[in-house]
Amino acid sequence: MKVISITNYGTIEITLNLIKSIENLNYDYIIYTLDDKVESELKSLNKKTKLHSKLFDCDYNSFSTLVFNQICKEKIKVICDQLASCEEDVLYLDSDVVLLRDISQYIDDNINDFNFLIQYDELVCPGCIYIKNTEESKIFFNHLYDIIDPTYRDDQHYINTILDTINYGKLDRSLYPTGKTYFTEKVQVNPYLVHNNYLIGNNDKINRFKENNMWFI
């Protein structure tokens, strides 16, 4: 399994927290970067990176903005690239996720014949996906990339429109909670990870991680 994520300089701090949580579990990983500044900074800290694009600025981009939607589309592209470049399975995590314990046994017990396992609450959330490296997965994510129109909506909207085209499973929402499940609904039962979404603002996300003892840097 290879853990991957994507970041620009605007989210470097929260990405470093994700990386530390990955390193704590001794998982192999690669962070796809979207500008020279974040690539240089992470390389100087001996983090495993790959410069994916230089088309984005270094600023933090809030949910539902055009640049946010464009970055969400590039997220799907890096998933496609990673699946094509190797034979191992892929765990994609948004930068505002923190890993808390080893997921290996859970995945072995639950992947079954599914092509991927994905986070969900009301809808599935592509900020946390374990992807089996199958031909069906490659076709699905390449198609998803092709249909995303960043001028309209983000990747979450589009992935929910094509789920009937592939065999997939949902991660247990109490063990792989979104920010709504964990922080708002207070479903807190020794999760494998927590996704710090349903909150707008980079500093607010950092503070919420710190308040909940999930800040590792």
Q: In this predicted model, what pLDDT tens digit does every residue of 104-140 receive, in sequence order? A: 999 999 999 999 999 999 899 999 999 999 999 999 9
117 membership: H or E segment, kind and range: strand 116-120
- pTM of structure: 0.95
Q: Do 141 and 195 meet the contact criterion of CB atoms below 8 Å apart?
A: no
The whole domain housing 52 covers 2-173
The reply to whether 209 falls in a domain is no
Q: Which residues pair with 29 in a beta bridge?
A: 3
The reply to whether 191 falls in a domain is no
The total number of structural domains that make up the chain: 1
The reply to whether 11 falls in a domain is yes
Look up the CATH number of the domain holding residue 115.
3.90.550.10
Q: Which of 163, 167, 194, 172 is nearest to 110 (CA)?
A: 172
The reply to whether 189 falls in a domain is no
List own/partner pairs for 131-138 with CB under 8 A and 24 or more apart: 131/79, 131/83, 131/89, 131/90, 131/91, 131/92, 132/89, 133/83, 133/86, 133/87, 133/88, 133/89, 133/90, 136/166, 136/167, 137/83, 137/166, 138/80, 138/83, 138/84
The reply to whether 36 falls in a domain is yes
pLDDT in tens, 156-203: 999 999 999 999 999 999 999 999 999 999 999 999 999 999 998 899
The reply to whether 181 falls in a domain is no
Residue 63 scores a pLDDT above 60 = no
